[in-house]
Amino acid sequence: MALELLKDTTIPKTTTVYPLRWRSRVYAIVGLVLVLGVVMVVTSAIGSTDIPLSTLSEVLLAKLPFVEVKPTWATSVETIIFDIRLPRLLLAGLVGAALAVAGATYQGLFRNPLADPYLIGVAPGAALGAVIGFLLPVSWQAASIPLLAFAGALLAVAVVYSIARVGKTLPMTTLILAGVALGAFLAAVTSYLMIASGDKLHGIISWLLGTFSLTSWWQVAVVIPYIALGTIIIWLHSRPLNVMQLDEEQAQQLGINVEQVKLILLGAATLITAAAVCFCGIIGFVGIIIPHAVRLVWGPDHRFLLPLATFAGASFLILADTAARTVLAPTEIPVGVITAFLGAPFFLYLLRQKKRAIF
Amino acid sequence: MISLCLDKVSLGYGKRTVLYNISLEAKPGEMLGIIGPNGSGKSTLIRGITRLISPSSGQIFLDGHDAATMSRGDLARILAVVPQNSALPELFTAFEVVLMGRTPHLGLFRYEGEKDLAIVRRAMEATQTAAFAERRIGELSGGERQRLTIARALAQEPKIILLDEPTAHLDINYQMETLDLARQLCLEQELIVVTTLHDLNLAAQYCDRLVMLSDGEIYCHGTPEVVINTQAIKEVYGAEVYVYPHPVNDLPATLIAPEKDRNKLRQKSM
């Protein structure tokens, strides 16, 4: 045994390949941020009225301080970009980021590749809340649907949490089971309300599948603080989340306050998921495939996985929403249909490529 | 000088008490072995010392401080555990897992620096795991994973290392290597090493002192010569064995025989 090595206190200057691999992952984060930027610019040019990229760049430049560009475009172009497309793609990006990072967090917490952001009650809670919102008078709906969806999501998770909690500890398997059981109950109530809803059924179904069709700036403004704060909290806990991949006992023995970390991460992930779904509905698949795709390509270290999933999720959902609004224009396809239709084959391709354990 | 001291500690799960009034002490440079049959409370004792379960009575002192008042981080800077059958995440690389040993030394906002990487590299070289540092856990054998958890414990730079059945599922060469390493660490780094063992021969050869548990209580403790004898093993384990002085160092060596030869064995041990 080369034990004398342990006593060697001189620290070699040369580094192993490891820091280099870290560097490549940092480059990947920067790369995905750039991709997100390109995706945002390009998709804001695409739509029922195609705007040439040259016009688009002039319109955008004109909005920057200290840049003067003579307007050569119709004011309607500006309206389309700033009042219709930009808020919509920002919300899609925020929601995609939130679902992907929440999915990665849940998968890490539960150490289960099948976990997604909706696992412990967010989706059925939000759905029931939204359906109740749809049944209220039409004039209230703009506020009541998102508010009740948000409240329903948080309430459902709170109930699941309090059922699963045993003394000071939170057994994760009980949490999943309680989430699934309460979800089934809430889904039953939701289904009943849907059948009884009459002519509102179409609106309800399109909400449940997810859509960004009625996005405006105030929705972006409402959602941003929750998603930004929650995402930052989650990013900061990426090392504890890594250590918790060992198991809870080993994590405790390595100095992690496991119950506290679980509570913080569950809270943050639930909050951003609830904020994500409350305006646009239950968009499936993003929260499960984006984290796995990122894990397949860049490995399981949450310090890179979480930011990479955030930016990849944002780009993915913006692209999916662009497809949703353009493929059958002027008819909108629910974006949830697109995420599954485009996302599933891509994910299957990745699985096939790697041919190794993915979690 | 660091010390580990248990003062009349009782441990259990819920209302079921598994260990009663355990008092023991370990000093640096000393390797303490915990032996006893399945269900006698060996692992519970380890779990109690690492505070995965809290004592229903009595106190555990680490370095003179009551362990119950220490934060998890403080505890992990003094005490490292090599758990039995530690589950390791398959996609992480060996290096990344050993790097997790630095966790108690790093805050929420700090990434591992040069110093941490150097400590990890040395821990991996000392445990002969550096050769597969870049491989994923899923590709490694049981013995390699076991040595990785020891490397991770070393990366914690602890004063006390607790090993829970470190030789379970290992081939005989790795059993010896693992305990050689533990013993060497114990002597050269002045660490306290506490290990549970089910192999009485390994326990006798490697530990300075042994504690034999029986039904949640200390049956006897002392040097291997005192603890391991035909009578004690018959009473505690209910097994008929023959204890013979080891030809090289006179430490007690436990021999067994199948039923057809047990009579001869019994006559020999008289």
Give A323-341 pLDDT, tens digit per residue. 998 988 788 888 988 998 8
| Residue B263: band (very low, low, confident or very high) from pLDDT cuts 50, 70, 90 | confident
Listing DSSP states for A302-336 in one string gives HHHHHHHHHHHHHHHHHHHHHHHHHTTTTSPPPHH
Round to whole Å and give the CA distance between A96 and A84: 18
Find the angle CA(A348)-CA(A350)-CA(A356) to the nearest 5 degrees: 100
Q: For B33, phi and psi rounded to 5 degrees?
A: -105, 135
Sheet holding B4-13, edge to edge: B16-26, B4-13, B57-62, B65-66
User: How far B83 CA lies from chain A's nearest CA (Å)?
Assistant: 8
Q: Provide the terminal-to-terminal Cα distance of chain B, rounded to the nearest Å.
A: 45
Kindly state the tokens that stand for B249.
Answer: 């160092």
For A359, the closest of B91, B100, B114 (CB atoms) is: B91
Is the CB of B139 inside 8 Å of chain A's CB atoms? no
pLDDT at A318 over 50: yes
Secondary structure in 3-state letters for B99-110: HHHHHHHCCCCC
Is the CB of B92 inside 8 Å of chain A's CB atoms? yes
pLDDT of residue B15: 84
Residue of chain A minimizing CA distance to B123: A6
pLDDT at A12 over 70: no
| Residue B270: band (very low, low, confident or very high) from pLDDT cuts 50, 70, 90 | low
What ipTM did this prediction achieve?
0.86
pLDDT of residue B163: 93
Is the CB of B117 inside 8 Å of chain A's CB atoms? yes
pLDDT of residue B113: 80
pLDDT of residue A74: 77
pLDDT tens track for B61-88: 988 888 888 888 889 999 999 988 778 8
- Which of B62, B72, B154, B159 to substitute to test the interface with A, most A CBs within 10 Å? B72
Is the CB of B104 inside 8 Å of chain A's CB atoms? yes
pLDDT tens track for A150-182: 999 999 999 999 999 988 888 888 999 999 999
User: How far A239 CA lies from chain B's nearest CA (Å)?
Assistant: 7
For B115, the closest of A11, A253, A255 (CB atoms) is: A11
Q: For B191, phi and psi rounded to 5 degrees?
A: -95, 155
Residue of chain A minimizing CA distance to B48: A253
Partners of A257 on chain B (C-beta within 8 Å) are: 71-72
Residue of chain A minimizing CA distance to B128: A1
| Residue A4: band (very low, low, confident or very high) from pLDDT cuts 50, 70, 90 | low
Round to whole Å and give the CA distance between A59 and A81: 9
Partners of B101 on chain A (C-beta within 8 Å) are: 254
pLDDT of residue B211: 94
pLDDT of residue A354: 67
Q: Give me the CATH code for the A88-354 domain, please.
A: 1.10.3470.10
Instruction: Please give the DSSP secondary-structure letter assigned to residue A11.
Output: P
Q: Where are the domains of chain A?
A: 88-354
Domains present along chain B, CATH in parentheses? 4-228 (3.40.50.300)
| Residue A20: band (very low, low, confident or very high) from pLDDT cuts 50, 70, 90 | low
pLDDT of residue A8: 52
Residue of chain B minimizing CA distance to A243: B100
As beta bridge partners, residue B5 has: B25, B61
Please give the average per-residue pLDDT across B128-137, as a whole number: 89
Closest to A265 in 3D by CA, of A143, A84, A144, A108: A108
For A246, the closest of B87, B106, B134 (CB atoms) is: B87
CB atoms within 10 A of CB A329: 11
- Are the CB atoms for A241 and A109 separated by under 8 Å? yes
pLDDT tens track for B137-186: 988 988 888 889 999 999 999 999 999 998 887 888 888 988 998 998 88
pLDDT of residue B12: 87
pLDDT tens track for A28-63: 999 999 999 999 988 888 887 778 888 888 888 887
- Which of B54, B98, B114, B146 to substitute to test the interface with A, most A CBs within 10 Å? B114
Please give the average per-residue pLDDT across B17-22, as a whole number: 90
The percentage of chain B sitting over the pLDDT mark of 70, rounded to a whole number, equals: 98
Which H or E run contains B20? strand B16-26
What does pLDDT average to over chain B? 88
As beta bridge partners, residue A330 has: none
| Residue B109: band (very low, low, confident or very high) from pLDDT cuts 50, 70, 90 | low
SS3 category, A220: helix
pLDDT tens track for A118-157: 989 999 999 999 999 999 888 888 888 999 999 999 999 9
**Residue with structure tokens 């100095």?**
A255
Query: Cis bond leading into A113, ω under 30°?
Result: no
pLDDT of residue B169: 78
pLDDT tens track for A229-247: 999 999 999 999 999 999 8
pLDDT of residue A269: 95
**Burial readout B5-17 (b: 16 or more C-beta within 10 A, e: otherwise):** bbbebbbbeeeeb
Partners of A13 on chain B (C-beta within 8 Å) are: 114
pLDDT of residue A355: 63
| Residue A294: band (very low, low, confident or very high) from pLDDT cuts 50, 70, 90 | very high
What does pLDDT average to over chain A? 87
Kindly state the tokens that stand for A145.
Answer: 């649907």
Round to whole Å and give the CA distance between B56 and B75: 19
Is the CB of B107 inside 8 Å of chain A's CB atoms? no
- Surface of B (6-45) touching A: CB under 8 A: none
| Residue A70: band (very low, low, confident or very high) from pLDDT cuts 50, 70, 90 | confident
Please give the average per-residue pLDDT across B17-40, as a whole number: 90
Partners of B122 on chain A (C-beta within 8 Å) are: 5-6, 8
pLDDT at A11 over 50: no
The percentage of chain A sitting over the pLDDT mark of 90, rounded to a whole number, equals: 49
pLDDT tens track for A181-227: 999 999 999 999 999 888 888 889 888 888 888 788 999 999 999 99
pLDDT of residue A7: 54
User: How far A304 CA lies from chain B's nearest CA (Å)?
Assistant: 12
